């Protein structure tokens, strides 16, 4: 078993921390997003699960704080903006998704 304390684990802004990555399964990433910054509208090849650990964000039209969770289908466009300093858990599954550079066809 691997485990992390997502509230205290050190992660620097602009340097997402990969917690776990297993080909064919999932990739878990901890993100520190400073207040006022955003992950501009984008899409990923995988299903994206986003959980707010700390702070407040605008996430695809919803505003929320710790405990807000969302799931996006592969290729669904979305953006995340931090209203306050925010800490997010991102899980991409399956990893890598179909069409992702380096994915097996």
pLDDT tens digits for range 40-93: 999 999 999 999 999 999 998 899 999 999 999 999 999 999 999 999 999 999
Closest CA to 92 of 60, 62, 50: 50
Query: Is the pLDDT reported for residue 104 higher than 70?
Result: no
Q: Does residue 29 lie in a domain region?
A: yes
Query: Is the pLDDT reported for residue 11 higher than 70?
Result: yes
Mean pLDDT for the stretch of residues 9-24: 96
Residues pairing with 27 in the sheet? 21, 92
Domains of the chain: total: 1
Q: What angle do CA 89, 4, 48 make, to 5 degrees?
A: 20
Mean pLDDT for the stretch of residues 30-40: 96
Query: Is the pLDDT reported for residue 25 higher than 70?
Result: yes
End-to-end CA gap in the chain: 30
Q: Does residue 67 lie in a domain region?
A: yes
Query: Is the pLDDT reported for residue 7 higher than 90?
Result: yes
CATH number at residue 56: 2.60.120.10
């Amino acid at each position: 078993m691997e485990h992390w304390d997502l509230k205290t684990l050190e992660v620097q802004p602009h340097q997402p921390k990969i917690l776990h990555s297993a080909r064919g399964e999932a990739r878990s990433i901890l993100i520190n997003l400073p207040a006022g910054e955003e992950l501009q509208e984008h899409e990923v090849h995988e299903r994206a699960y986003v959980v707010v650990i700390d702070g407040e964000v605008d996430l695809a039209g919803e505003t929320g704080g710790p405990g807000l969770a969302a799931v996006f289908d592969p290729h669904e466009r979305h953006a995340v903006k931090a209203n306050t300093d925010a800490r997010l858990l991102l899980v991409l599954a399956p990893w890598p998704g179909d069409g992702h550079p380096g994915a097996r066809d």
